[in-house]
Amino acid sequence: MTVKPYNTRSSKKEEVREMFDSIAPRYDLLNHALSFNVDRWWRRRVVGEVRRGAPAQILDMATGTGDLAIELARHIPGAHVTGVDLSDRMLAEARRKVAAQGLAERIELHQGDAEHPTAEACYDAATVAFGVRNFGDLHAGLCGLARAIKPGGKVVILEFSRPRSRLFRALFGFYFCRILPWVGGMVSHDRRAYDYLPASVGEFPSPEAFLAMMGRAGFADCRARSLSGGIAYIYIGVRR
């Protein structure tokens, strides 16, 4: 399966925005159910990595419905989190959840994208959970993240990958490419996003290639950690 080609970066952004606007009301339900809640554990690993630096200002890019932003604010004392996303409807869901958690003073939410950071050299750390695949231009988005972080600050990226084991890759591929799009489309009434998910993962760079891209974008000491047999990876880098 391949991702439909885009003529420009802006056309990809618009299609991604439309897809996530469409599925926003059911996104959390499907996200947790289709991952069997493993995504919650993955996000906790991201929070643990970010927390080590005791950051005061955190940028959560592609924040979606705010799950990671909320976890960061809850578990890192005193941290202020800025969540940014392309989708208005995903941000509306995030605002509702932030208010329900009583975190409105610690989390602010804006519409935008990684190529145009809300501020430069302002954040102690930046995170992206399952969002770098959606950047209109991956290199430009990583460079934008680097510009947003103070020198010496950390970026922590959580993203899907392809399992290394041939057998596990085949089993996971059947679920990811056949079962997940069918269930996701049936529940959300819009199958595009759930066809796009496995297709975009299939075209995402290998861990080694992505680490090299991080290095070219301005990050040093780049490393990757495999999660759940290679279904996902955490990528970590330090702003030069």
Position 35 pLDDT exceeds 50: yes
pLDDT tens figures, 169-181: 899 899 999 999 9
Instruction: Tell me the CA distances in angstroms from 185 to 115, 175, 176, 188, 231, one per residue in order.
Output: 30, 14, 13, 5, 21
CA 103 to chain centre: 21
Q: What is the pLDDT of residues 55-94, one digit of tens each?
A: 999 999 999 999 999 999 999 999 999 999 999 999 999 9
What predicted TM-score, i.e. pTM, was given to this entire model?
0.91
Domain residues of the chain, as ranges? 9-239
207-233 average pLDDT score: 97
Q: Which stretch of 30-39, 57-66, 151-160, 167-176 has the lowest confidence by average pLDDT? A: 30-39
- Best CATH choice for the domain 9-239 from the list 3.40.640.10, 3.40.50.150, 3.40.630.30, 1.10.340.70: 3.40.50.150
